[in-house]
Amino acid sequence: MMHNEQKVTDSIYWIGANDFVTPRFDNLVPLPQGISYNTYFIDDEKTCVLDGIDNACRDIFMDNLSYLLKGRALDYIIINHMEPDHSGSLLALAEAHPKAKIIASPQAIKMFEQFFHVSFKDRTIISDEKMVLDLGVHKLRFIKAPMVHWPEVTFTYDETDKVLFSADAFGTFGAIHGSIFADAVDYADVYGVEGRRYYTNTTGKYGMQVLSVLKKTEALPIDIICSLHGPVLRTEKDKAYVIERMKKWASFTPDYTSASIFFASAYGHTAMAATRLATLLGERGVRNLKLIDLCVTPVSDAWAEVFRRSHMVLAAPTMNMCLNPAMAAFLHECTTMGIQNRKVAILGNSSWAPNVSGKLMKDIVSTWKKCEIIEEPLHVKGSTTGDDEALISLADTLAADILGKEGA
């Protein structure tokens, strides 16, 4: 038997695993740093497992649990989240421990039956916020957290050790490096980028719901946060870092008053125009700029950059009398994920066609909530020179808006 459990407290254990095999989260978002699937075991008069694990790591999860049970029965299985990267092993877990009661929200029970086509109604306990699960020493309460980031989500709060089991909230992409605790590494350095990509691509659409559940958790004394992905948070520094970032992202508050320049270029002319614009903005005092090449950057990474800066520049050529596909995919992501509170400048490019791309980008951006388009789309015909008056004028306007002053 292979086991690799770690202690969270004297009687709470992490029994999860790292996954370095799955290339993409949701078969969409790249996982260059791997990912951890976290599940937890409470060793008390009554034993309890909180959430399952992806099937890719099922064997190590089941071995961890067997090692800690030491032949005892498992009394409870708590389901906080039914997404398959956590629920994939739940049927095997329930069948291996037929006397264990299954505690979950009504929506989670419905999803369980949809995913596995079996029903355990005689073993099911519906969780709600008035319920207290008494394990002996540990007393567990349940907090509804719908749409953070699925509708069935609940958090579980251990009143005894003041531990919040937070489903996918407060998590991050990236494997766990040795110790399960965030303070074992420089958390901001190791997980800063992956945490942003994780939040923006899993929960970025649901800022209102995130802020709502944060109000609930702020009322609780919480010593430890145990997410389903990434390290366990136990220091005030690490908890505050993650929570403050979530608040900013949930309200679409940027890190910088600056511009992200998103471009898609067929032969380099649009890329050169975007690069020249960045140079002009830099010369005018704008800092923390970033150029993002949509033809090589995954949409999930580009979307994460939207959260970083107050302004966006969209630059793309007309292709086949339509919008460049890389830009189209990026704008689709922004639209479906509910982008808000950004100012946008648009640069279209064509050699023999009219400025179709500029018009199409403007039409899409015009549908975005609480977003403002700065000036009419600029039209570059083929290539631009360093002295292009229209590009210089756009730089002046953007810089003045970013820096908050008249002129540049």
- Taking alpha carbons only, the member of 153, 130, 160 closest to residue 48 is 160
Residue 376 vs residues 274, 291, 383, 390, 392: alpha-carbon distances, Å: 16, 21, 19, 11, 14
Read off the amino acid at residue 205: K
All domains in the chain, ordered by first residue:
6-250 (3.60.15.10), 259-398 (3.40.50.360)
- What was the pLDDT predicted at 407? 40
- What was the pLDDT predicted at 155? 98
- What was the pLDDT predicted at 117? 95
In sign, the C-alpha dihedral spanning 374, 377, 383, 385 is: negative
How is residue 56 annotated by DSSP?
G
Helix (H) or strand (E) holding 403: helix 389-403
Instruction: Work out the angle at residue 320's Cα, subtended by the Cα atoms of residues 318 and 325, and round it to the nearest 5 degrees.
Output: 65
Instruction: Work out the angle at residue 102's Cα, subtended by the Cα atoms of residues 100 and 106, and round it to the nearest 5 degrees.
Output: 170
Mean pLDDT per 10-residue segment, the chain (408 residues): 89 97 94 97 98 94 96 97 94 96 97 94 94 98 95 97 97 96 97 97 95 95 98 97 96 96 94 96 97 97 97 94 94 97 94 82 96 91 78 95 69
Question: Which residue's entry shows tokens 């900013």?
Answer: 248
- What was the pLDDT predicted at 304? 97
pTM of the model: 0.93
263: alpha, beta or left? (left if phi > 0; alpha if psi -120 to 50)? beta
Q: Are 358 and 379 in contact (CB under 8 A)?
A: yes
Report the relative pairing of strands 290-293 and 256-263 from DSSP bridges. Answer: parallel
**Distance in angstroms (rounded) separating the CA atoms of residues 3 and 90:** 19
- What was the pLDDT predicted at 406? 44
* CB hemisphere CA count around 61 (13 angstroms): 29
Q: E strands along 189-301, which residues?
A: 224-226, 256-263, 290-293
- What was the pLDDT predicted at 1? 66
